[in-house]
């Protein structure tokens, strides 16, 4: 079908461009092995391989492929790590992490998205991902420490709760700033200290939690995340 041919052309274009911007080939190969179109709503299927964020249910987004790749690369996953994802969404980022890490723990505050993510991951055969309903505090202490933590929503500050769940040498990748725009930060934990690196500007939906934003006016905020 013509629509399928167009999708394949967009797919080839996306991964060609990602290889020009992302140094870790394993990250690009992991993303290339995953059919992004099954993670987006059917109405957006024709846009699955455009390098843009797309809306999903519950007012959330599936992030722009480039920023997914950038954040994943920053985790420096070698294959034996235990990784925490804060904000499961539709499960796309979890699938990429599952391709690269030994075990993935993911938390999500919307039960509807948990159900969708579990369905998507099961359909692709992943067995090294566990998804939990997010508690009152950030992360998932029961599974700590983690070699990497990735946060897929913007926070007003770096939550100490997540730093505490990192192993020595572990990496935390998180957008930090206002509700409207953030800086993507990578923090590496070394003997109790953290080394910070700024990876550039970004826009994410707000992180809703005790150490982040409340959801009092969440419905009035932008539904899209993007890198600029």
Domain residue limits at 134: 2-227
For the stretch 9-42, pLDDT in tens is 999 999 999 999 999 999 999 999 999 999 999 9
What domain count does the chain have? 1
Report the distance separating Cα 61 and Cα 16, nearest Å: 23
Whether the Cβ atoms of residue 113 and residue 90 lie closer than 8 Å to each other:
yes
**The total number of residues written for the chain in this structure:** 228
Tokens coding 148: 């990497």
Name the nearest CA neighbour of 198 among 183, 211, 188.
183
Q: For the chain, give me the number of helices (H) and strands (E)? A: 6, 10
Whether the Cβ atoms of residue 95 and residue 124 lie closer than 8 Å to each other:
yes
Q: Give yes or no: 42 in active site.
A: no
For the stretch 144-188, pLDDT in tens is 999 999 999 999 999 999 999 999 999 999 999 999 899 999 999
The number of CA neighbours under 13 Å toward the Cβ of 197 is: 12
Q: Residue 115 has what pLDDT?
A: 98
Report the distance separating Cα 31 and Cα 69, nearest Å: 8
Say whether pTM exceeds 0.75: yes
CATH number of domain containing 45:
3.40.50.150
DSSP letter, residue 101:
S
Of 63, 178, 222, 225, the catalytic one is 63
Per cent of the chain over pLDDT 90 is 86
């Amino acid at each position: 079908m013509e629509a399928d041919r167009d999708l394949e052309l967009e797919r080839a274009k996306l991964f060609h461009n990602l290889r020009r911007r992302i140094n870790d080939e394993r990250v690009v190969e992991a993303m290339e092995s995953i059919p992004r179109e099954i993670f987006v709503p059917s109405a957006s299927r024709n846009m699955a391989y455009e390098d843009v964020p797309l809306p999903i249910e519950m007012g959330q987004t599936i992030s722009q492929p480039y920023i997914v790749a950038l954040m994943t690369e920053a985790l420096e996953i070698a294959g034996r790590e235990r990784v925490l994802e804060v904000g499961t969404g539709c499960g796309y980022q979890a699938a990429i992490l599952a391709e690269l890490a030994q075990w993935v723990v993911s938390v999500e505050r919307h039960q509807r998205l948990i159900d969708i993510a579990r369905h998507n991951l099961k359909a692709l055969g992943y067995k090294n991902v566990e998804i939990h309903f997010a508690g009152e505090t950030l992360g998932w202490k029961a599974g700590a420490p983690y070699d990497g933590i990735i946060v897929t929503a913007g926070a007003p500050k770096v939550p100490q709760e997540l730093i505490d769940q990192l192993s020595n040498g572990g990496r935390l990748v998180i957008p930090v700033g206002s509700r409207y725009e953030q800086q993507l930060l990578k923090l590496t934990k070394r003997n109790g200290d953290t080394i910070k690196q700024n990876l550039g500007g970004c826009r994410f939906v707000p992180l809703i939690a005790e150490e982040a934003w409340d959801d009092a006016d969440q419905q009035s905020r932008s539904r899209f995340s993007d890198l600029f």
